[in-house]
């Protein structure tokens, strides 16, 4: 029974991470729409969008950002990796 509780708690925390990524996606999209390109790094996005810092997952590990494709995900160092499913897709500049 404890295993089920532990797994359920883990999955709920993964869902919280997915929700956080979903909240970051419009921030990233706003940057793309304004600058007509992807940010080069978290640091550029944090500065341009006046974020408090590099966003972290619910366990406190910073999210990773792939500037080549604009993908936000949990770090492989996070106990939440890999997340189930996919986060929202962005509209990239042409």
Burial class (CB in 10 A: 0-12, 13-18, 19+), 57: buried
Residue 72: CB partners within 8 Å, gap ≥ 6? 21, 24, 25, 28, 63, 64, 65, 87
The span from the CA of 46 to the CA of 52, in Å, is 7
Helices (H), 41-85: 42-49
30-70 per-position pLDDT tens digit: 999 999 999 999 999 999 999 999 999 999 999 999 999 99
Asked if the model's pLDDT at residue 83 lies above 80, the reply is yes
More confident residue, 92 or 14: 14
Instruction: Compute the C-alpha angle 45/86/36, nearest 5°.
Output: 35
């Amino acid at each position: 029974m404890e295993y089920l509780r532990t797994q359920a708690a883990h999955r709920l925390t993964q869902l919280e991470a997915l929700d956080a990524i979903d909240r970051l996606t419009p921030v990233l999209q706003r940057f793309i729409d304004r600058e007509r390109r992807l940010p080069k790094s978290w640091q550029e996005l944090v500065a341009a969008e006046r974020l408090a810092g590099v966003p972290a997952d619910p366990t406190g590990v910073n999210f990773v950002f792939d500037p080549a494709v604009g993908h936000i995900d949990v770090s492989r160092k996070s106990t939440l990796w890999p997340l189930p499913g996919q986060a929202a897709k962005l509209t990239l500049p042409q």
